[in-house]
Amino acid sequence: MSSQEDRFKPYTRNSIKNAPQWKFLDTDQQQAVLAISQVLPFRVNAYVLDELIDWSNIPDDPIFRLTFPHRDMLPSAEYEALCSLESGESRETGAALVRNIRLGMNPHPAGQLTHNVPHVNGVPIKGLQHKYKETVLFFPSAGQTCHAYCTFCFRWPQFVGMSELKFDAKDAASLVDYLKEQPHVTDVLITGGDPMVMNTKSLAGYIEPLLIPELSHIQNIRIGTKSVAYWPQRFVSDADADDLLRLFEKVVKAGKNLALMGHYNHPAELRTPIAQLAVRRIVATGATLRLQAPLIRHINENPQDWAELWTTGVKLGAIPYYMFIERDTGPRNYFEVPLAQAYEIFRKAYQQVSGLARTVRGPSMSAHPGKVVIDGIVELGGEKVFALQFLQARNPDWVRRPFYARYDAQATWFDQLRPAFAEDKFFFEDDVPPGHPGILLPTGLHHAPAPSARHATDLIAVTS
């Protein structure tokens, strides 16, 4: 099925000038791409350029915003400094500037690098994260890139060569050894980057070891992927697309639930015939495909877009899963939406869809203590509050316990919320899960003024 046109053709900072569409960007837009891509990852491909971006609508086209950097993603002083680098600062000065800007963007949100890595005999296991009791995340080294990069990417340090902030595993051996000792783990999430950048043979090398009888407790194998949106050819016309589908069938036949966690930011990503065919081919293998994405300013603030995404997905056989809140990392100031607005956008979208699309949950924050969903904005005892609960938590006992935070129209992340009703802490702050050495909370979770959006990286341990 493959043809010349179907071959994957990426463009990076070094080659984007060769893309036929480069001439559609005006000088300022071109400068923004070249300046900001010194700090943040930039990669796009011919399918995104040819099929997904409406060039008559740039710079406001959502997929253009999703893939092409904008100058306002950085404070103007940083932006100007990067632009002046272009015209001849020394290499050392440039490297120092780029590094400082990166370090100011909270490169390891929710403490994931330091606090979710499991240890065996005191030695950290590279490329694994184990935050929630039943789910282990696995980062195969060959899957630590994407077919195109999102401008808001929350895993951006993985792609920019900050080697001390990279976490990946060369093979599945340590994962399998770890899982054998963890009978309560039911789910493995293979993630990146995008594991679907691997060819089928390499992917099979990571997945097939999970099918052995000693790992019968692993019921669900999840794969986090953006390929369904950025390169649906992976499931349709790539040279080994059919082999990939046979691999999916093999996993299903082995008695596992194979769930693709499809990252779709906008309904435009599901409008092309090849994207729709990809969904049909995936679900025909017996695998499931779930739709999830963060809510991002400039890209998907319109409730109608979410309703279209979920409705189209259901029609094709996919399952709406999550609307997330943009994470507290990278150029978040440019992309974040206040929690109060996010709640209203979710509600308006949810009201428009049938019960089959109401499998979706949100808006949800993947914060350090767990996944916190905003259930409502209500008035209780004369106080306007956010009604919250954990959908997932470090301590399973916290899940689905309603709790309340003072209403704050400006708040954009969990660490900016304060307990309601004059409480001095949230219920979970003194609570330490059995056998857990301590709960790690962002410094000054509520005791200090809300940290500035870009610098809340310090952590303290709260122990019993």
Sites of contact with ligand SF4 (CB under 6 A): 146, 149-150, 153-155, 192-194, 226, 263
Q: How far is the CB of 40 from ligand SF4 (least distance, A)?
A: 10
139 or 248: whose CB is closer to ligand SF4?
A: 139
Based on CB atoms, which residue is closest to ligand SF4, 215 or 270?
270
Name residues whose C-beta falls within 8 Å of residue 95's C-beta, 6 or more positions apart in sequence: none
Contact 388, 362 (CB under 8 A): no
Q: Could you give the C-alpha distances from 253 to 208, 241, 256, 286, 314, in angstroms and in order?
A: 12, 19, 7, 9, 24
Q: Which is nearer to ligand SF4, 147 or 256 (CB)?
A: 147
Q: How far is the CB of 153 from ligand SF4 (least distance, A)?
A: 3
Q: Give residue for tokens 């435009």.
A: 268
Q: Which residue's CB is nearer to ligand SF4, number 101 or number 150?
A: 150
Residue 288 β-bridge partners: 259
User: CB of 107: closest distance to ligand SF4 in angstroms?
Assistant: 13
Could you tell me the CA-to-CA distances from 447 to 138, 385, 390 in Å, in that order? 35, 18, 21
3-state secondary structure of 75: coil
Cβ atoms of 195 and 233 within 8 Å: the answer is no
Which residues, 6+ apart, have CB-to-CB distance to 29 below 8 Å?
Answer: 58, 59, 68
Helix runs in 293-429, H state only: 303-316, 332-335, 339-351
Q: Closest distance between ligand SF4 and the C-beta of residue 258, in Å?
A: 19
In the complex, minimum distance from the CB of residue 80 to ligand SF4, in angstroms, rounded to a whole number: 26
Indicate the residue among 191 and 395 with the shorter CB distance to ligand SF4.
Answer: 191
- Cβ closest to ligand SF4, residue 195 vs residue 442: 195
Identify each DSSP E strand in 355-432 by its residue range: 361-366, 370-380, 383-393, 403-406
Task: Return the number of the residue (64 or 428) whose C-beta is nearest ligand SF4.
Answer: 64
Helices and strands (H, E) in the chain, number of each type: 14, 17
Q: How far is the CB of 10 from ligand SF4 (least distance, A)?
A: 13
Rounded to a whole number of angstroms, the minimum distance from the CB of residue 266 to ligand SF4 is: 12
